Each structure stands twice: as structure tokens, then as C-alpha cells.
Amino acid sequence: MQQSLIGGGQTRFQPVYVEDVVAGFAAILANPASHGKIYEFGGPRVYTFKELIGFVCARIRAQPLLVPVPFWVAELLGGLLQVFPDAPLTRDQVQLLRTDKVVSGSEPTLGDVGIEPKVLEAIVPEYLSAYRR
């Protein structure tokens, strides 16, 4: 199995558990003082794309060949492939990987509404157990 690391796999992500997001929304709706504010919800840890792929592959016992792909190559491939149904890569996906997906720290977070976000390592293994090789 080969896995492309677009941009070298250095894009950062801060995955958040959906139940934590729901609890955060509920806390915001229950507090009239929070209405009209902007919140940023993220998980408790930041990972690179490469770290996330490594985490998932370790859980499903896969050993992919990780191939770094520069953004310009990925954009070229995405532009060519996006014309096909169920394209494995599009130019828009590559653009999304150009920027980190983490909270800025300038807006209130889950912790500010009383929710302690769960770590990825506590949630994801159960979901991936069906995909073990």
C-alpha cells in the first residue's frame, strides 16, 4: 500500500471528537451570554498529517510506503484526476492541505464552555478495530 504525503505530510490538524462538539454546542445554547460569540473547537492535541497516517496505519496493522509529494505535483495531479467520477484527489483537496487546521487560540474553545476534549487515542481505536489486517 502506498500513501502520498502531500506537502511532505507537514500540514497540522487538531481533530475533535464529534460528541465533544455536540456537548460544546449544547453548552453554548444553554448560556445566553455566549450567544453571538465565535468559538473554535479542536481536540487537545495537534498532529501532522504524517502522524495521523502513522497512527491509523499502526492501528490497522498496515505498513504503507509513505511517499512525500510536493504541493505543486499534487495540484497538477488533482487537476487531472478531478474530472473523473470518485476522483482520488482534487485540486480543492490539495488547497485544503496547504493550511493548518488548528484553533488559533484567539477565540474561546471547548475548555471555555466546560468541555474537556477527548484525545484521539481514546476514541479512534474502537472505530478502526473493524479494519485490522
- The pLDDT tens digits for 45-87 are 999 999 999 999 999 888 889 999 999 999 999 999 999 999 9
Question: Is 79 a domain residue?
Answer: no
Strand pairing of 12-13 and 47-48? antiparallel
Element holding 2 (H helix, E strand)? strand 2-6
Count of the separate structural domains present in the chain: 1
Question: Is 77 a domain residue?
Answer: no
pLDDT at 2: 74
Question: Is 75 a domain residue?
Answer: no
**Predicted TM-score (pTM) of this structure:** 0.86
Question: Is 93 a domain residue?
Answer: no
pLDDT at 1: 65
Question: Is 89 a domain residue?
Answer: no
Residue 16 has pLDDT above 80, yes or no: yes
Distance in angstroms (rounded) separating the CA atoms of residues 51 and 53: 5
Distance in angstroms (rounded) separating the CA atoms of residues 68 and 78: 15
